[in-house]
């Protein structure tokens, strides 16, 4: 092995050690509640868009599992999220996904719809958790013990995994909606109120996946 190759391997080893140190810091809650047999991370995506559902993810990871580069989904590229999604689905003890439609959001408001999607995600788990680590919220109507963590998707590997599952699931849905409802650029904006999306909304009018309670400032 020459000097250049040795230096490259040393740098790789240093990067790996740093990443493992970061993941160790993101496992503090999982270690704090290590007496619990099944810790479930809960997170949602899609509270702010003008169109599409709100989606919640619930993930139970095996104890002491290692998924390198696991992080808040907002801090990851689409390519990295997709790769991590596959790894999470492969390694997780259980995964549940819940969602509330735009019509349901209009009916009961976005906060209650988010809670509903979270409860649905929990109910779809094949393993019942004995502790929920939630991103910032306490979910009403759930008998399982809960720990709300502000910015939890950046502080807990379980919540980060849930955020990735929810994000990838919703993004894939919005890409499919682009094929069904062309003109709004859902594949790119994912339903969020970009300038081009708002202009399309004014020109084309709303489609069935627009949230009527969100778009009153743009259309009559």
pLDDT tens-digit map of 129-148: 999 999 999 999 999 999 99
End-to-end CA distance of the chain: give it in Å, rounded. 70
Distance CA 168, CA 87 (A): 13
Structure confidence at residue 70 (pLDDT): 96
101: which 2 tokens? Answer: 């439609």
3 band by pLDDT with thresholds 50, 70 and 90? confident
pLDDT at residue 186, rounded to an integer? 98
Cα(10)–Cα(86) distance, rounded to whole angstroms?
29
Residue 210's pLDDT band (cuts 50, 70, 90): very high
- Averaged over 187-197, what is the pLDDT? 97
**What are the distances in angstroms from CA 52 to CA 69, 112, 123, 192, 203?**
28, 16, 22, 9, 19
The CA–CA distances, whole Å, from 140 to 60, 102, 123, 143, 146 equal: 20, 21, 14, 9, 10
Q: What is the pLDDT of residue 191?
A: 98
Q: What is the reported pLDDT for 176?
A: 98
**The predicted structure's pLDDT at residue 220:** 73
Mean pLDDT over the full length of the chain? 96
Across 53-57, 179-183, 216-220, least confident range: 216-220
pTM of the model: 0.95
- What torsion, rounded to 10 degrees, do the Cα atoms 160, 165, 166, 167 define? 80
Model pLDDT, residue 4: 76
Q: What is the pLDDT of residue 129?
A: 98
Residue 10: the pLDDT is 81
- CA-CA distance, 114 to 137, in Å (whole number)? 10
Stretch 99-116: mean pLDDT = 98
User: Residue 187: its pLDDT value, please?
Assistant: 97
CB atoms within 10 A of CB 214: 19
Q: Where residue 76 falls among pLDDT bands split at 50, 70, 90?
A: very high
Q: Which backbone phi and psi does 89 adopt, to 5 degrees?
A: -65, -30
pLDDT of residue 18: 95
pLDDT at 63 over 80: yes
């Amino acid at each position: 092995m020459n000097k250049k190759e040795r230096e490259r391997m040393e740098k790789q080893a240093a990067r790996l050690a740093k990443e493992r140190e970061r993941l160790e810091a993101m496992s503090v809650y999982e270690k704090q509640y290590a007496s619990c047999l099944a810790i479930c991370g809960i997170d949602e995506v899609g509270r702010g868009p003008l169109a599409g559902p709100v989606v919640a993810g619930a993930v139970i990871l095996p104890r002491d599992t290692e998924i390198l580069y696991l992080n808040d989904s907002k801090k990851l590229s689409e390519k990295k999220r997709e790769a991590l999604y596959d790894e999470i689905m492969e390694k997780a003890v259980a995964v549940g996904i819940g969602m509330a439609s735009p019509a349901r959001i209009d009916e009961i408001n976005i906060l209650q719809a988010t809670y509903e999607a979270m409860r649905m995600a929990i109910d779809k788990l094949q393993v019942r958790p004995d502790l929920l680590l939630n991103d910032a919220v306490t979910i009403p109507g759930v008998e399982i013990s809960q720990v709300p963590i502000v910015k939890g998707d950046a502080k807990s590997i379980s919540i980060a995994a849930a955020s990735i599952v929810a994000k990838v699931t919703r993004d894939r849905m919005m890409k499919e909606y682009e094929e069904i409802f062309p003109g709004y650029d859902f594949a790119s904006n994912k339903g969020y109120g970009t300038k081009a999306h708002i202009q399309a909304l004014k020109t084309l009018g709303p489609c069935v996946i627009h949230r009527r309670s969100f778009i009153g400032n743009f259309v009559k």
